[in-house]
Chain A
Amino acid sequence: MSLAAFQRALADLAASPELVSAVRRNPEAALRAYDLDERERRRLIHVAGQTGMEAQCTLYRVTRLASLTALLPETMQSLQPELRPIVDAYWKAEAVHDVRFAAEARRFLGFLEQNPHLLAKASGKSPSAVLSRARRELAANLRARV
């Protein structure tokens, strides 16, 4: 299972700039949760220190955002200037990216429905209006693929 743990740690690093920083500061503590052999631990410390890891973290976030901007573009625009804290909260609640665009967009909409307080500052509109528009937008964009 060691290679599996190594790959899980590598994926977690790509998904979490916070974990990258933690490995840079205190690698033993940050990697303690993973069942790694010595070479794998050394490799993860090495790659966490590379500037390419920062690019990888950026790519992860871009990729995750892409599924939402593809199917909910107007909703995402309307969430400014609170988009970043909303997306951060969503990613904290749903740490694993569902790479299926439709599933990820539906899950994000469900998250907004469960957390309407996050929408209060976003658009100057009522959370129910934002949600109603988001539901229509997602339905229309999914229908357009048919």
Chain B
Amino acid sequence: MPGRDPAAGAPVLGIGLMVAPAFEPLLAVEGLVDHLAVTPDRFWEDRGRSVPAEARFVDIPAWVALLQRAGRPQVTHHIGLSMASAICAPDPAYVRQMGCWANRWNAHWISEHLAFVAIDTGDGPAAAGLALTAPFDREVLDLVVDRARMVMAATGRPFLLENSSYFITFDDNEMDEPEFLNRFCEEASAGLLLDLHNLYCNTVNFGFSGHRFLDRLELDRVVEVHVAGGADLAGFWSDAHAGQPPEPVWDLLDDLLPRAPNLRAVTFEMHESWLPRTGFEGVAETLARARSMWNRHRGGIGP
């Protein structure tokens, strides 16, 4: 891998799937899924902060059994750390659990979203109820950098920050999004999980060019890419993980692949509730298209 490498030592994983038990039949198809992206928060039950740390996170056996059977390289993709929260400190038990999970499954890296899901109610942290965007300000950048460093120190794994989709924007951000992401990578010595569907959502909802956005990013920071489909929500395009990626997402991937020298993985995200509409064939078709595009630009992962 040339130059600075935010995922030093991690192998090239190729084409993967954000996994849930419903997708297991696809794992039996040879050459279709190289790696599993795992949202651990879906594989355990979090019994809450009031429960002693050793008893707080409990496996959901049917889900964990899938990982035991699958025998694929894994990366972990968390949703519970709340990178951009102005709470006094991230949940220490959650950070420990991130490390335990990554060690247990030998995850090649850990990722989280640029968003906040926890708020300070005055009586301690509480769930915001959904992932919310924060202004691209120095104060928020400092929070996110600190948390990335904390995760890397606690887990010993590379850390990637995922760009988010959003429905609202602040007209007086201290920096724009590419600058924020570039500075994050520099200051945290971390990488990017570039979600091309999130980027696409923002281009549709706020009318800018995703390709120009890529021009502004330091693409050697990109280690993993997400592709996904979406849906209309109250007149906005949302990151609903609904079906196959729209054509502009493929155009963005086609643009990115030759320009991201440290890219290790492309992951397809689809909520399993969409399987009746896409069929397994639709998922397989998406994975095959991603592989074909990867092989055309980068070669090497076959078949």
Contact = CB atoms under 8 A, between A and B. Distances in A.
Interface string B105-146: 000000000001101110000111110101100011000000
B268 to A, nearest CB: 21
A59 B86 CA distance: 22
A15 interface: yes
Contact of A146 (B46, B61, B134): B61
Interface stretch (B25-33, B218-226, B230-238, B247-255): B230-238
27 contacts: A3-B139, A7-B119, A7-B120, A7-B128, A11-B119, A14-B129, A14-B130, A39-B172, A46-B170, A56-B130, A56-B167, A58-B234, A59-B130, A60-B129, A62-B233, A63-B129, A63-B130, A96-B127, A96-B129, A97-B130, A99-B117, A99-B127, A100-B46, A100-B48, A102-B45, A145-B62, A146-B60
Contact of B236 (A7, A55, A103): A55
Interface residues of B, number: 38
A89 interface: no
B86 A3 contact: yes
A53 B166 CA distance: 10
A47 interface: yes
A31 interface: no
A52 interface: yes
List the 7 closest A-B pairs by CB distance, nearest first.
A52-B167, A97-B129, A3-B86, A11-B128, A4-B86, A4-B120, A55-B234
A50 B133 CA distance: 14
B94 interface: no
Contacts of A8: 119-121
A10 interface: yes
B172 A145 contact: no
Nearest to B21: A145
Contacts of A53: 167-168
B293 interface: no
B236 A52 contact: yes
Contacts of A54: 234
B127 A98 contact: yes
A43 B127 contact: no
Contacts of B86: 1, 3-4, 6-7
Contact of B168 (A52, A63, A145): A52
Contacts of B235: 51, 55
A52 B166 CA distance: 8
B123 to A, nearest CB: 11
B281 interface: no
For A39, A46, A59, which residue has the most chain B Cβ atoms within 10 angstroms? A59
Contacts of B163: none
Contacts of B85: 7
Contacts of B54: none
Contacts of B171: 46
A53 to B, nearest CB: 6
Contacts of B233: 55, 58-59, 62
Contact of A55 (B61, B62, B127, B167): B167
Contacts of B134: 7
B23 interface: no
A2 B48 CA distance: 27
Contacts of A63: 129-130
